[in-house]
Amino acid sequence: MSSHGSIDSLEDYDLWLGMLWVALQQSLPGFIPKFQAQIANTLEEKRSQHLGDEYINQIEKNLIYGCEGTHQICEAIARFLVLGEPRLGPEVEILAYVESWRFKALPVVGRHLAFLRSGCSGCQVHPNHSRYQNLRKLRLSASFDRYFDEIEFCYKFYQGTSILAGLTAASILRTQDFSALASTLAVEDVLHRTWLLVCARSSAWWQLGIGDVLIPEGEASAGG
């Protein structure tokens, strides 16, 4: 990290975010085991509420929302660190801002769900279907049991990334000194790196392991 404390490269950013997470973890004693248990239990709840196809429908929809919501929050983080926007006041405003980015994922869930089920020949989020490409292949080719296992894993995985991304965003946005800290970097680059690091860290925090299907090779190991 450079002497004036700015983030001048993605390698700097890896280190910086790593330190932020250590501090965040220390500031939340008991939080990680609590959410580990909650993420593990979340499927039980869904299973008891929905049957058969409706259960699968719920899991598919929710895993997409978790994944897209995580991406949105990573974008909010990147915009704050690179562009310095927005300037926020009280805690309640910060939390509402983070949630407003998560909600941006809602309108695209249907598009990705349609792709997962029947493919798609073109839509406004078309390039992002690549996130679900492997799941779609699995849905078409593998045994039902294998697909079922994978979507249950993905559901838990993206619950984890979504929680971690939200906590991370709130923690960063709370510190006005972090505004435009990475102003020499590109929003897209910081966004992508944040996503990779959140996936890796989330896996470690919540002890979820890494899916062999969903997280592309190389990405999962970013940041350790």
Our finding on whether 123 is near Zn ion (CB under 5 A) is: yes
Task: Report the residue number, 126 or 137, with the smaller CB distance to Zn ion.
Answer: 126
Binding span for Zn ion by CB under 5 A among 15-23, 120-128, 142-150, 186-194 = 120-128
Task: Report the residue number, 50 or 61, with the smaller CB distance to Zn ion.
Answer: 61
CA angle 40, 91, 68 (to 5 degrees): 45
Q: How far is CA 167 from CA 74, 137, 139, 163, in A?
A: 11, 33, 32, 6
Q: Are 220 and 199 in contact (CB under 8 A)?
A: yes
Our finding on whether 113 is near Zn ion (CB under 5 A) is: no
Cβ density class 89-123: b for 16+ within 10 Å, e for less: eeeeebbebbeebbebbeebbebbbebbeeeeeee
Task: Report the residue number, 26 or 121, with the smaller CB distance to Zn ion.
Answer: 121
Judged by CB under 5 A, the residue of 47, 126, 137, 174 near Zn ion is 126
Query: How big is the site for Zn ion, counted in residues (CB under 5 A)?
Result: 3
Residue 121: DSSP 8-state? S
| Least gap, CB of 133 to Zn ion (angstroms) | 12
> Contact positions toward Zn ion, by CB under 5 A?
120, 123, 126
